[in-house]
Amino acid sequence: MGLLRGSRVSFVYSRRYQIELPGVLYDPRRGEKVLAFLDAAGLIGPRSVHAAGPAELRQLRRVHTDDYLDSLDRPESLTRIVGLTVDDPVAGRILEAQRYMAGGTLEAARLALASGGVAVNLGGGLHHAFAAKGERFCAYNDLAVAIAEMRSRGVQSRVLVIDLDVHDGDGTRALFAEDPTVHTFSIHDHTSWEGEAVAATSVELGNGVEDAAYLDAVRTRLPPVFDAFQPEVVFYVAGCDPAADDQIGDWRISPEALLERDRFVLSCARRRERKLPLVVVLGGGYGQNAWRYSSRFFSVLLNRGRPVEPPSTEEATLARYRLLATELAPRDLTGEPQRDDDWGLTAEDLADSLGGLRPPNRFLGYYSLQGLELALERAGLLDRVRSLGFERPSLEMDLGNPTGDTVRLFGADGRRELLIEVRARIDRAAAPGAALLRIEWLLLQNPRAHFTPERPRLPGQSHPGLGMSQDVAALLVLACDRLQLDGLLFVPSHYHTASQGRKTLRFLNPEHEGLFRALRAALRDLSLAAASQAIEERRVVDAATGEPFVWPTLPMALPVTARVSGLVEGEEYERKAAEAAGRYSFRATS
Ligand SMILES: [Zn+2]
């Protein structure tokens, strides 16, 4: 590509961007995942990452009316903007997060102008915020705030805002409707602001758009704007919600086409004769994979035009926790001095030798309560729980039960709101020659969240989930590393838990894998919740005998060492699973 050689790329981020909202598909850690990936791939150093501070009130007032800004103090105005009932503390955190994102776009604009290069805010793109109202999750229009700040500093350059989020950049177009020095360009599904603007391109493509039509629109509509308007600075809202697997948008854009789109924008703004300062903001992107689209684009920016493929979300979560775990010494986790200090004896060893009747005080014989708390705090898990509104999370252990050791995390000291409960023990019998961490029971729930049509109640649930199952799975894998175990063992008690677990776990027995595939084939027309419910209510029957199917014990494993991966991978396993799948046949009755 060549056009990136010599250009500097800066990133702006703050942990204050992260806000957990139950039932919202937005990934609060998208920016952090992108940074962790770019760092692990060796593409950025610490000096290319800058901290965002909050936008100041005087900066917000250049764009938004005082009445509107005042109204944001009342939780009900924010409830309207985010479409969820929010109470005071949550409203405060949403506003704080968006104020930091606006500050991030300000900082990115400053960096891009100062260096003449590219600066990326790993947040922002709040394009549905108008002068006197906020809509669809956007309270402050960070793009407009940054452009207004440039103007206040005497930068009069012509600005082009390219907004390729799947939704109309309506707020931004309306805010600059009368400003001939800012051209707003948006390609979207439906136009949501029909007003006239002196310098704007608004392209509506409708529903279900595919690669060819999308890339054609970008390639034919964008270059004429560069030629006619002759921008001197470019802002790019690189929304990932046109992606086929996006949880909100209904377009069917492939990862390759999305990357091609980003490269095309880059080539328009940064080709040899026209190296314009470029400010990139994340924009929309909903679901597990949103961070991966942004990561591919930024890897192109940093790796001389060659994309680096990010790992799966599960692998990335685990890698992040492994990195954190290297900072925790065994003594931090166990509360014991290292074996090589002192005489290699602890007070408890002495107590043991003096009678051996002391009750167990370590989870899995290893982790002290303080050690677990420290690990959860360092992993950022307790902060996430706090940002869900549980201000003082508290941990307890229940040890010595023959079915396993239990750890519980409550929302506060009173032990009323149970968030996480894990019961585990070490199992040396389930897989020959392997020691596994057997998860007897795993509960992750948010007692303050409500079931909705999009998040229906699943069998066995009293409350919706906590949204942290991958994180807890990663921490359990770390426990395997620490205790030198070969993997995790989990026995799902419902069809839906097995189905969700299959993202990371494999059935230990290929026969069970075959059985599950046959079930899935029979239930493919049902939602996960409906499928699980049908099994629970014995409405799934053996197609040959008509006997109702009863959910059996199907142990699943997550391999950590080759001892276990050898059991659940490979041609032999596949052959047995396929053969078993052919033997089973189920039918759902109504
Ligand atoms: Zn969007």
Q: How far is the CA of 242 from the centre of ligand 1 (A)?
A: 8
Region class of 167: left (phi > 0), else alpha (psi between -120 and 50), else beta: beta
Predicted TM-score (pTM) of the model is 0.73
Q: How far is the CA of 111 from the centre of ligand 1 (A)?
A: 25
Q: How far is the CA of 107 from the centre of ligand 1 (A)?
A: 23
- Average pLDDT of the residues in 383-397: 89
Residue 14 has pLDDT above 60, yes or no: yes
Q: How far is the CA of 281 from the centre of ligand 1 (A)?
A: 12
Q: What pLDDT was estimated at residue 387?
A: 84
Of 155-164, 291-300, 428-437, 446-455, which gets the smallest average pLDDT? 446-455
Q: What pLDDT was estimated at residue 162?
A: 98
Q: How far is the CA of 169 from the centre of ligand 1 (A)?
A: 8
- Average pLDDT of the residues in 286-307: 92
Residue 24 has pLDDT above 50, yes or no: yes
Q: How far is the CA of 167 from the centre of ligand 1 (A)?
A: 4
Q: How far is the CA of 506 from the centre of ligand 1 (A)?
A: 35
**pLDDT grade, residue 6 (50/70/90)?**
very low
d(C-alpha 480, C-alpha 373), whole Å: 18
- More confident call, 37 vs 271: 37
Q: How many CA atoms lie less than 13 Å away from 410 in the CB half-sphere?
A: 10
d(C-alpha 144, C-alpha 161), whole Å: 10
- Average pLDDT of the residues in 448-473: 85
pLDDT tens profile 407-424: 999 998 777 899 999 999
Q: How far is the CA of 571 from the centre of ligand 1 (A)?
A: 43
Q: How far is the CA of 83 from the centre of ligand 1 (A)?
A: 15
**Nearest Cα to Cα of residue 286 among 242, 229, 226:** 242
Residue 323 has pLDDT above 50, yes or no: yes
Q: How many CA atoms lie less than 13 Å away from 521 in the CB half-sphere?
A: 15
Query: What's the Cα-to-Cα distance from 572 to each of 211, 488, 512, 517, 565, rounded to whole Å?
Result: 39, 22, 14, 17, 13
Q: What pLDDT was estimated at residue 23?
A: 67
Q: How far is the CA of 244 from the centre of ligand 1 (A)?
A: 13
pLDDT tens profile 342-376: 344 444 544 444 444 456 788 998 888 888 888 88
pLDDT tens profile 66-96: 999 999 988 888 888 988 777 777 888 899 9
Q: How far is the CA of 79 from the centre of ligand 1 (A)?
A: 19
Q: What pLDDT was estimated at residue 336?
A: 65
Q: How far is the CA of 126 from the centre of ligand 1 (A)?
A: 9
347 in helix, strand or coil?
Answer: helix
- Mean pLDDT rounded to a whole number for the chain: 89
Q: What pLDDT was estimated at residue 355?
A: 45
